[in-house]
Amino acid sequence: MRLDGMSAAVTGGASGLGLATAEKMVEAGAKVTLIDLPSSPGAEQARRLGGNARFAAADITDAEQFAAALDAADEFGPLRSVVHCAGRGARIRLVEKDGSPGALEPFEDVVQLNLIGSYNALRLGAARIARHDPIDGEGGAIVLTASVAAFDGQIGQIAYTASKAGIVGMTLCAARDLASKGIRVCTIAPGIMDTPLLGRLREDVRTSLEESVPNPKRLGRPAEFGALACGIVENPYLNGETIRLDGAIRMAPR
Ligand SMILES: NC(=O)c1ccc[n+]([C@@H]2O[C@H](COP(=O)([O-])OP(=O)(O)OC[C@H]3O[C@@H](n4cnc5c(N)ncnc54)[C@H](O)[C@@H]3O)[C@@H](O)[C@H]2O)c1
């Protein structure tokens, strides 16, 4: 599917991997709606990207707000693609150091944002994409964001790992479900990417993270995520698959 002239929505579009994807899509000629929290720099980033970018403020854990933002993207041009990047982690232990059970609330919050948010991206996004006639047999494509933590969960990542493994599990199921509408679904599982999330790391911690990547020995660049997301949208034969983007890293237990 050609990016040139298509309308796409990118959640988490104000920062990191989402912003890098929006940049690549705009460069390729797409009309892109950045969906992010009202408190995010989404409006300013959309202005920086020029006339083919817009910002729609929404908290994607609120289905009504998310649907309204996707409607705005569909008004910008018939929606063909959703790249869903909004997400975050939380550190929880199953048993705390004082012997008490791990907290339930942060687990629920992360699952609500990462997993239920991805289900909303699929159902709300696909319903809008499916309103439009296919182009050369293609309806559109949805790209979800998991993490290598879906496969190599580290100590303290129980909520993050559960939510990201859920996204990996939904990928083939969603691709099969949406096949009759010509909508493809793929997931990217990034390794350690150099986004604002990691910008706050101490230099020695950052160097040791870089050392842990087999090849290339560095953190992933957000533009590399953006290029893969665009490649998935463009390539009509990629479907139902989770692609690790990680320099062959396999995370240690901690
Ligand atoms: N950076 C990494 O190393 C890495 C590795 C693996 C997976 N990931 C995943 O990639 C995705 C993007 O991460 P990033 O590194 O670009 O992070 P980031 O913090 O730079 O960007 C995330 C964006 O999502 C937005 N967001 C958060 N909650 C939201 C909500 N409720 N509604 C709307 N927007 C919301 C934030 O405002 C932010 O702009 C996340 O799902 C993350 O789990 C990141």
Question: Does residue 156 lie within any of the structural domains?
Answer: no
Q: Is residue 71 part of a domain?
A: yes
Please count the structural domains in the chain: 1
pLDDT band at 201 (very low <50, low <70, confident <90, very high): confident
- Please report whether residue 158 resides in a domain: no
Residue 41 lies in a domain: yes
φ, ψ of residue 34 to 5 degrees: the values are -85, 120
**How much is the average pLDDT of 115-127?**
98
**Residue 28 pLDDT:** 98
205 band by pLDDT with thresholds 50, 70 and 90: confident
Which two tokens mark 54? 């817009």
Arithmetic mean of pLDDT over the chain: 97
Q: Does ligand 1 have an atom closer than 6 angstroms to the CB of 33?
A: no
Catalytic residues: 160
Instruction: Tell me, yes or no, whether 200 lies in a domain.
Output: no
Q: Is residue 159 part of a domain?
A: no
17 in any annotated domain: yes
**Among 59, 91, 116, 195, which residue has the most ligand 1 atoms within 8 Å of its CB, making it the best to mutate?**
195
Which domain, by its residues, includes 226? 7-147+164-194+219-245
pLDDT at residue 22, rounded to an integer: 98
Residue ID of nearest Cα to ligand 1 atom 7: 147
Distance CA 252, CA 254 (A): 5
Half-sphere exposure of 76 (CA within 13 A, CB side): 27
Question: What pTM did the predictor assign?
Answer: 0.98
Tell me which residue has its CA closest to atom 12 in ligand 1. 85
CATH number of the domain where residue 56 is located? 3.40.50.720
- Residue 1 domain flag: no
CA–CA dist 2, 159 (Å, integer): 37
